[in-house]
Amino acid sequence: MELKDIRGVGPSRLEHLRAMGIVSLRDLLCALPVRYEDRTRIVPCREAAGEALVKGVVAEPPRLSRFSGLTRVTASLRDESGRLALCWYNAPWMMQQLPVGEPLMLFGRVSERNGRRVLQNPAVVTRLELLPVYRPVKGIPAKTLREMVQAALAAVDECCPETLPQGLRLRHGLCGRGEAIRQSHFPESFEALRLARRRLAFEEMLLYQAALSAVAGQRGGGFPLPIPAEGPAAFWERLPFAPTAAQRRVLEEIAADLRQDRAMSRLVQGDVGCGKTALAFGAMALVCAQGWQCAMMAPTEILARQHYESARAILEPMGLRCGLMVGSMRAKEKREAHEKAADGSWDIVFGTHALISEGVSYRRLGLVVTDEQHRFGVRQRSALRERGEAGGRGPHVLVMSATPIPRTLALILYGDLDLSVVDELPPGRTPVRTRLVPEEKRAGMYAFLRDEVRRGRQAYVVCPLVEESEQLEDVRSAQATYRALRDGELKDLRVGLTWGGQKPDEKEQTLAEFTRGELDVLVSTTVIEVGVNVPNASVMIVENAERFGLSQLHQLRGRVGRGSAESWCFLVAEGSSKLRVLTQTNDGFLVAQKDLEQRGPGDLLGTRQSGEAVQGFLLNGDVQLLEESARCWRELASDPARAEERVQVERAARARFAERGLTVARN
């Protein structure tokens, strides 16, 4: 059975499915519902709110009215608790389906209009069920899509065969794969749905770890460097500040890696302000002292230039020659940069993706550093590494991430990397004060911002949307907020605007103006989440904070508090237990743990940057399950008695990830 064999799937619908990445029955069955309508619990008419299932009798004859080319059918449903108004737009046929006194079950969303509750466009329900709701597919009605999935399920065991050994499933209480997919689409109960999703989430995490383990096992040879035992300590002695114990420990771990004949692949993870850049400089100083070159890639020109200027102040006095290579350079500057990288005139080259552009080569590349790792995929990291490969040996690789991830998840996400955690902040760093600001206190917040600017400080205002949306009327957009502040509350200040889709040169210019202090306030989307370092900024305002995840809010908060002045982060939203976490702690790892518990790993793994995101079944917020899958893989990898099970899991992992080439986006 193939996709085209399903009743109702013609050439046009096949094209629409292909546009969504669905080209086979397996693809269709693996495109799980995004949510479910709970049509299992009937509520009294008087208590109906939000999405609700009600049951009663039609209280009076329905009425049909016409206006502005639309039709509206109105009626009311009565049960023992009272009445509930009903309304259908552009559905005149409902006049024949609402006989007075007829028992009826309806499911829809209750809204309030003119002080009266109305069930809007409800569907007639004939049986109690959990109804799957899928991502919309152009040209295919929702009901038709459900019928197509129902038909495809007849072949589930054939096109979605079992991947996990039976013994493993029994030990971990996992149902069969076919049953899990069936219950994920049309669950018999909430418990059946929970068990199905548990099985599929466990499988995806286990196979992902097996695939990454294979990548780590393929790690090539490196160039062993005779780093002297006193090398790390000697570097710290030449800096104008004392390192933390965590920084000393991590640089020793890096030095130990560099001495091996196996190429280093290490992730340095730490919270904003923990001193990762100093560690990168230390690693590069150790490598350059042995006669090798280094390259450091950042996601934005602004950040690449900031690293370059910092390196000139710290590393050039040590005799290291630093250079910059970015996309905005003129042709002559690019030629000179390429020549100096190729002939070794530069010991360290800082840059953006320009470092891996066509025609760039290095004389003796020994270390590759990528900053803000979650903005790069494996493919980009590998492209820079390949610039230095010679005789089957590649340069050492150090990747850095300021996105705190709970340790267990980090070990799973970065299974092809060794992990160092910088879990200590330098002394004297002032924590950012975080406050929830309800709408009625907005004027006071702006007054505080103006006071900070009068003291010579700067501020960010971050919005979730670029421009206004009719579907999201209550969500602030950057463009509308910029106009309102420029012409209203902040009209006496210098206000700028930037967003992700802005022309690159305009974006770079705006960010540069803010960095130089030529703008007092920068209104933006989350484009400033990483790669912007302005120590003078002391205020961060996040509009509609409830629309962001905790980890992202923590990243945004990290844009302030980078200087010596006391800094503030204002979350404009009504109070919630989720947002109150940020008012209670500045510990990014604790914030990330709470984020994982609330949103689940699906959100952490689901943002496409470079390469493909892990897809499928990571829709389960069960942190314990995540840890259980990691423990299961460790047992398979270390216990000889589990060798046969390991082979089966590795075979399934190769099949699952072969098409993606393991180009997985890290978030």
Q: What angle do CA 101, 106, 110 make, to 5 degrees?
A: 115
HSE-CB of 275 using CA atoms within 13 angstroms:
24
Return the residue matching tokens 């460790």: 634
φ and ψ at residue 537, rounded to 5 degrees: -80, 130
Q: What tens digit of pLDDT does each residue of 143-161 get?
A: 999 999 999 999 999 999 9
Which range (103-112, 402-411, 551-560) has the least confidence?
A: 402-411
What band does 376 get if pLDDT is binned at 50, 70 and 90? very low
Closest to 458 (Cα-Cα) out of 521, 511, 518, 515: 521
Return the residue matching tokens 């450091």: 296
8 Å CB contact between 401 and 374: yes
Closest to 88 (Cα-Cα) out of 74, 102, 77: 74
263 vs 106, residue with greater confidence = 106
Question: How much is the pLDDT for 399?
Answer: 86
> Does residue 276 share a domain with residue 196?
yes
Closest to 356 (Cα-Cα) out of 390, 329, 380: 380
> Does residue 452 share a domain with residue 426?
no
> Does residue 621 share a domain with residue 634?
yes
Question: How much is the pLDDT for 655?
Answer: 86
What band does 407 get if pLDDT is binned at 50, 70 and 90? low
Q: Residue ranges of the alpha helices (H) in 461-576?
A: 478-487, 504-515, 550-557
Residue 550 has pLDDT above 70, yes or no: yes
Q: Is 642 helix (H, G, I), strand (E, B) or coil?
A: helix
> Does residue 490 share a domain with residue 441?
yes
2 vs 271, residue with greater confidence = 2
> Does residue 561 share a domain with residue 471?
yes
- Give the chain's domain count: 3
302 vs 433, residue with greater confidence = 433
Last residue of a domain, one of 552, 585, 618: 585
Last residue of a domain, one of 585, 611, 630: 585
Residue 560 resides in a domain: yes
612 vs 314, residue with greater confidence = 314
What band does 428 get if pLDDT is binned at 50, 70 and 90? low
Residue 90 resides in a domain: yes
547 vs 171, residue with greater confidence = 171
332 exposure class (CB count in 10 Å sphere: 0-12, 13-18, 19+): exposed
Distance CA 16, CA 23 (A): 10
Which 3-state string (H, E, C) describes 95-118?
HHHCCCCCEEEEEEEEEEECCEEE
Distance CA 75, CA 100 (A): 10
8 Å CB contact between 514 and 535: no
Distance CA 87, CA 118 (A): 7
Taking each continuous run of H as one helix and of E as one strand, the counts in the chain are: 23, 21
Beta strands in 341-443 (DSSP E): 348-351, 365-370, 396-401, 418-422, 433-437
Residue 591 resides in a domain: no
> Does residue 437 share a domain with residue 426?
no
> Does residue 486 share a domain with residue 439?
yes
Longest CA pairwise span in the chain (Å): 91
Beta strands in 535-591 (DSSP E): 537-542, 568-572
Distance CA 589, CA 551 (A): 9
The domain in which residue 540 lies consists of: 433-585
Paired sense of beta strands 35-39 and 129-133, if any = antiparallel
404 vs 38, residue with greater confidence = 38
Q: How many Cβ atoms from other residues are within 10 Å of residue 665's Cβ?
A: 21
> Does residue 639 share a domain with residue 580?
no
Average pLDDT (462-476) is 66
Residue 353 has pLDDT above 50, yes or no: yes
Q: How many Cβ atoms from other residues are within 10 Å of residue 312's Cβ?
A: 17
Return the residue matching tokens 């879990």: 423
> Does residue 578 share a domain with residue 611?
no
Residue 627 has pLDDT above 80, yes or no: no
Residue 439 resides in a domain: yes
Distance CA 667, CA 606 (A): 8
Residue 453 resides in a domain: yes
Q: What is the mean pLDDT of the chain?
A: 85
Q: Residue 461: beta bridge partners?
A: 523, 541
Distance CA 15, CA 140 (A): 11
8 Å CB contact between 219 and 265: yes
Residue 413 has pLDDT above 70, yes or no: no
Which 3-state string (H, E, C) describes 226-244?
CCCCCHHHHHHHCCCCCCC
CB-based contacts of 460, cutoff 8 Å, min separation 6: 521, 522, 523, 524, 528, 537, 539, 540, 541, 556, 559, 560
Question: How much is the pLDDT for 616?
Answer: 39
CATH (domain of 462): 3.40.50.300
| Percent of the residues in the chain that have a pLDDT greater than 70, as a whole number | 86
Residue 368 has pLDDT above 70, yes or no: yes
Q: What tens digit of pLDDT does each residue of 92-127 get?
A: 999 999 999 989 999 999 988 777 899 999 999 999
Q: Residue 484: beta bridge partners?
A: none
Question: How much is the pLDDT for 217?
Answer: 62
Residue 27 resides in a domain: no
CA 300 to chain centroid? 18
117 vs 303, residue with greater confidence = 117
> Does residue 89 share a domain with residue 187?
no
> Does residue 405 share a domain with residue 524?
no
Average pLDDT (153-170) is 94
HSE-CB of 467 using CA atoms within 13 angstroms:
2
CA 1 to chain centroid? 36
Residue 250 resides in a domain: yes
> Does residue 259 share a domain with residue 110?
no
pTM: 0.64
Residue 357 resides in a domain: no
Last residue of a domain, one of 585, 610, 631: 585
Question: How much is the pLDDT for 425?
Answer: 77
